[in-house]
Amino acid sequence: MATSSPSSHHRTGAAAGGASEYLTFRLGQEEYGIDILRVQEIRSYEQPTRMAHAPDFIKGVIDLRGVIVPIVDLRLKLHCAQAEYTDFTVVIILNVGGTVLGAVVDAVADVVALTADSIKPAPQFQSQVDSAFVRGIATVGERMLIVMDIESLLSGAEMGLVKAVAAA
């Protein structure tokens, strides 16, 4: 049973009927996944216009075809050790609860299909990442993927702040 036939590699797409697709990206050494249905586009990083009195994780705003989009650095939001901007740094434009925002990540990896039962509950312990943001952990081949609940990533107050920044 440990052997795998070539046809088993092609079943992933067919088995994806009950699966959801997730865009995977890197923050530091960790790989995360977010629901692809929240993703509008992926853009190269450009320096946003800074907004006065915004928290550190809100880098500023960009004008995206006439829409003012707040840019949230997920590395800062999730307290990653260091947030360095490289040629691989990208902004994922998301639609979260009717609000368009950009999420700065180190690099985008790929799109994977995961079934609900392939996402295991995250262990509950004190860590850098607040477990409220984590829907679970999935194994994709040799990779461990932290599946994020992007809508719980920002608290109600923070989403209000993001909306206020976007409206400014």
Distance, in Å, from the CA atom of 55 to the CA atom of 71, rounded to the nearest integer, reads: 11
The domain in which residue 149 lies consists of 20-167
Q: Residue type for 24, please?
A: T
Does 3 map to a domain? no
Residue 122 half-sphere exposure toward CB, CA atoms < 13 A: 20
> How far is it, in rounded angstroms, from Cα 72 to Cα 90?
12
Torsion angle, alpha carbons of 5, 6, 12, 17, to 10: -90
What distance in Å separates the CA atoms of residue 66 and residue 126, rounded to the nearest whole number? 42
| Domain-embedded: residue 2 | no
Q: Taking residues 84-90, report their average pLDDT.
A: 89
Distance of alpha carbon 46 from the chain centroid:
18
Q: What is the DSSP letter of 123?
A: P
Question: How many domains would you assign to the chain?
Answer: 1
Q: How do residues 89-105 score in pLDDT, each as one tens digit?
A: 999 999 988 889 999 99
Q: Does residue 81 have a pLDDT over 60?
A: yes
State the CATH number of the domain containing residue 138.
2.40.50.180
For the chain, what is the mean pLDDT?
Answer: 81
The pLDDT tens digits of the residues spanning 8-45 come to: 333 334 344 588 999 999 998 899 999 999 999 999 99
